[in-house]
Chains A and B, each alone.
Chain A
Amino acid sequence: DIQMTQSPSFLSASVGDRVTLSCKASQNINKYLAWYQQKLGEAPKLLIYNANSLQTGIPSRFSGSGSGTDFTLTISSLQPEDVATYFCLQHNSWPLTFGSGTKLEIK
């Protein structure tokens, strides 16, 4: 199975900060990576698919980059409503596997 490693596991930042989250795959997954946001008690929400494509309706402060094994989710200006856990998904190979998440809080 492909292992997905996210870092950091916890991040505290101030409103307006530029925030960068990392997701690394144990082998090449091409561009087949998605990012999700999950708030407490809610369903996960798709933010980014195919590494850098913004899902419809998601604010433009969210962006994704990377290919192969190294991927990044960037929030250009952190907002209070961005408090959530963020996780990545690889869909290059079976079984589909997830990262363990980054919990993002406001300082």
Chain B
Amino acid sequence: QVNLQESGPGIVKPSQPLSVTCSVTGYSITTSYYYWNWIRKFSGNKLEWMGYISYDSSIYYNPSLKSRISITRDTSKNQFFLQLNTVTTEDTAVYYCARNAYRDYFDYWGQGVMVTGSS
């Protein structure tokens, strides 16, 4: 069974970077041909796909975030990471990690972690 679990700081001060970790169990993040994504949900239910890192470490970001986002991975721990720079209060959201095949629907999601941009 594939399981994804997010962990994060809870609160991030404005202008600081936000870092969230996704720990994956039951499936290797280097197995072809899956992609590992970050998605966030704002209050009011708006969902935004943020970007992915692939099984072979290729990366693609939502152009709306391209200047602020970085997705990396640690294959030895079967984890991947989101960093979002220069956080504002508008980055307050629940952050999810999820798996899909290339440009496909997401079949497994984590439960999400709430991150608040606040001083």
Chain A interface residues (CB < 8 Å from chain B) = 34, 41-44, 46, 49-50, 85, 87, 89, 91-92, 94-98, 100-101, 103
Whether A95 contacts B62 by the Cβ 8 Å rule is yes
> Main secondary structure on chain B at its contact with chain A?
mixed
Residues from chain A with a CB closer than 8 A to the CB of B106 are: 34, 44, 46, 89
Q: Judging by beta carbons under 8 Å apart, are B49 and A95 in contact?
A: yes
- CB of A42 within 8 A of CB of B111, answer yes
User: 3 smallest A-B Cβ distances: which pairs?
Assistant: A34-B105, A98-B47, A101-B45
Q: Are A43 and B96 in contact (CB under 8 A)?
A: yes
Give the interface centre of B62, B105, B107 by most chain A CB atoms within 10 Å: B105
Q: How many A-B residue pairs have CB under 8 A?
A: 48
With A85-B45, A96-B49, A97-B49: A43-B110 Cβ-Cβ less than 8 Å: yes
Contact A43 B105, CB 8 Å, known A87-B45, A100-B45: no
State which size class the interface on B falls in.
Answer: 20 to 34
Is B46 a contact partner of A49 (Cβ separation < 8 A)? no
Q: A89's contact among B46, B62, B105, B110, by CB below 8 Å, is which? A: B105
Other contacts beyond A43-B96, A91-B104: 7, CB < 8 A:
A42-B111, A46-B106, A49-B105, A87-B45, A95-B64, A100-B46, A100-B47
Q: Are the C-beta atoms of B109 and A44 separated by less than 8 Å?
A: yes
Contact indicator B110/A46 (Cβ below 8 Å): no
Q: Which of B49, B63, B96 has the most CB of A within 10 A?
A: B49
With A91-B103, A91-B105 known as contacts, the answer to whether A43 contacts B111 (CB < 8 A) is yes
Interface residues of B in 73-89 (CB under 8 A from A): none
Contacts of B103 in A (CB 8 A): 91-92, 94, 96
A97 to B109, CA, bound (A): 16
With an 8 A cutoff between CB atoms, is B117 at the interface? Answer: no
Expressed in whole angstroms, the minimum distance between the Cβ of A7 and any Cβ of chain B is 13
Asked if A95 contacts B63 (CB within 8 A), the reply is yes
CA distance A41 to B111 in the complex (A): 7
